[in-house]
Amino acid sequence: MAAGSPDAGAAPWYQDWAGIRAAASSVKTIETAFVQTRQLKILRKPLVSRGVLAYRRPHDLRWEYQSPLATLLLVRGGAVERLIKHGEQWVPDASARLEAMKVVVGEISLWLDGNFGASKTFRAELRPAGQGGPPHVELTPVAKSLGKIISRIAIHLGEQPGTVRAIDIFEEGEGVTHIVFENPRYGEAIPDSRFMPPR
């Protein structure tokens, strides 16, 4: 999420919620690759997925898995669309899963805004990090029904003001999904076409 180097002697941007929101608000665009690793007790090897994310303030989002399965989540002007690639064609997903994705997108938007306290789905707590690095935001589900699926989420803040470097999603039953962002670029212009369905 954003740019700039803090003044010497100034409080870290991640010291409190106000600082986090202020830093996040300076982020206009993000483009980054990501690697997602999902570990389950029943699997000998973790499941690894790779993709790209693009974000343009206030609400445009592209979350694309490129391997091993190609899927695409697009958000533009409040509309959410999910597509799955079959052969060379992108096919819209109109299943019930799309409704669940709309909830997830709402949460991601709050995270990108640094507005963790506005969530009605998760309770947010700012936790210290070890060895003097940035802290992480700990999210726990409000509803018991969701807690049976996701026990907690840890959002690891980056050194650069307004940024997130990784996300850990802890599932009930000891499954863990780890997402790490690689080679992020901030503040560059992103064309409208990045938030539109492929032709």
Q: Which residues of the chain have pLDDT under 70?
A: 1-10, 95-100, 130-133
Q: What is the pTM of this model?
A: 0.85
DSSP structural state of residue 41 = T
pLDDT at 186: 92
- Radius of gyration of the chain from its Cα atoms, rounded to whole angstroms: 17
Whole-angstrom CA distances from 159 to 130, 135, 162 are: 13, 10, 8
Predicted pLDDT of residue 142: 92
Amino acid letter, residue 89: Q
Q: What is the pLDDT of residue 4?
A: 44
pLDDT of residue 132: 62
Per-residue model confidence (pLDDT) at position 148: 80
Structure tokens at 29: 């665009």
Residues 46-83 as b or e (16 or more Cβ within 10 Å = b): eeebebbbbbbbebbbbbbbeeeeebbbbbbeeebbbb
SS (H, E, C) 55-77: EECCCEEEEEEEECCCEEEEEEC
Q: What is the pLDDT at residue 2?
A: 41
Q: What is the pLDDT of residues 18-42, one digit of tens each?
A: 999 999 999 999 999 999 999 888 8
